[in-house]
Amino acid sequence: MADIYLHGVETTENTNGPRPVETIDTGVIGLIGTAPDAEAGLWPVNTVVPIYGAGGAVQGLGANGTLKDAIEGIFDQAGRVSHTILVVRVTEGANIKETMTNIIGSSTQFTGVHALRKSPGEHGLTPKLLIAPGFTSSRPTDGISAIAKSTDGVGYTSAPTVAISGGGGTGATAVATINSVTGKLDEIVITNPGFGYTTVPTVTLSGGGATTQATATATVGTVANPVTMELLTLANRFRAGVIKDAPATTTSAAISDRLDYDTDRLLIVEPMAKIFKDAAVVQEPASARVAGLQARVDYSEGFWVSPSNHVIEGIVGVSRPIEHSITDPSAESQLLNKNAIACIVRAPSGGFKLWGSRVPSSDSLKSFWSVRRAHDTIIDSIERAAEPFIDRPFSVQVLVDIAETVNSALRRWKALGATLGGRVWLDTTLNTKETWANGQLFISYDGEAPAPIEHITFIFNRNTGYYEELGSSAVREIARMAGTAIPANA
Asked whether residue 327 is assigned to any structural domain, the reply reads: yes
C-alpha dihedral, 355 to 360 to 361 to 364, nearest 10°: 40
Which residues, other chains included, contact 106 with Cβ-Cβ below 8 Å and sequence gap of 6+?
A: 112, 114
Cβ count within 10 A of residue 20? 9
Banded pLDDT at 353 (limits 50, 70, 90)? very high
| 145-237-51 Cα angle (round to 5) | 110
Same domain, 361 and 267: yes
Asked whether residue 451 is assigned to any structural domain, the reply reads: no
What average pLDDT does the segment 223-249 reach?
96
Banded pLDDT at 19 (limits 50, 70, 90)? confident
What average pLDDT does the segment 23-44 reach?
94
> What's the confidence (pLDDT) of residue 206?
96
**Measured in whole angstroms, how far is the alpha carbon of residue 137 from the centre of its chain?**
16
Residue 84 has pLDDT above 60, yes or no: yes
Amino acid identity for residue 332 in this structure: E
CATH number of the domain that residue 255 is part of: 3.40.50.11780
Count of domains for the chain = 2
Asked whether residue 450 is assigned to any structural domain, the reply reads: no
> What's the confidence (pLDDT) of residue 484?
80
Tens of pLDDT, residues 51-72: 987 654 578 999 899 999 999 9
Residue 483 has pLDDT above 90, yes or no: no
Same domain, 89 and 214: no
Asked whether residue 470 is assigned to any structural domain, the reply reads: no
* Residue 157 structural domain: 143-221
Q: Using CA atoms, how far apart are residues 130 and 29, in angstroms rounded to an integer?
A: 6
CA distances 373 to 287, 369, 376, 378, 450, Å, are 17, 6, 5, 9, 11
The last residue of a domain, from among 190, 221, 252: 221
Q: If DSSP codes are grouped into helix, strand and coil, which group holds residue 288?
A: helix
What average pLDDT does the segment 249-261 reach?
96
Which of 66, 221, 65, 200 minimizes the C-alpha distance to 139?
221
> What's the confidence (pLDDT) of residue 239?
97
Same domain, 217 and 76: no
Exposure string (b/e) for 265-286, b if CB count within 10 Å is 16 or more? bbbbbbbbbbbeeeeeeeebbb
> What's the confidence (pLDDT) of residue 461?
96
Q: Using CA atoms, how far apart are residues 29 and 230, in angstroms rounded to an integer?
A: 16
Strand partners, 245: 269
Same domain, 116 and 151: no
Banded pLDDT at 490 (limits 50, 70, 90)? low
Q: If DSSP codes are grouped into helix, strand and coil, which group holds residue 112?
A: helix
Same domain, 183 and 75: no
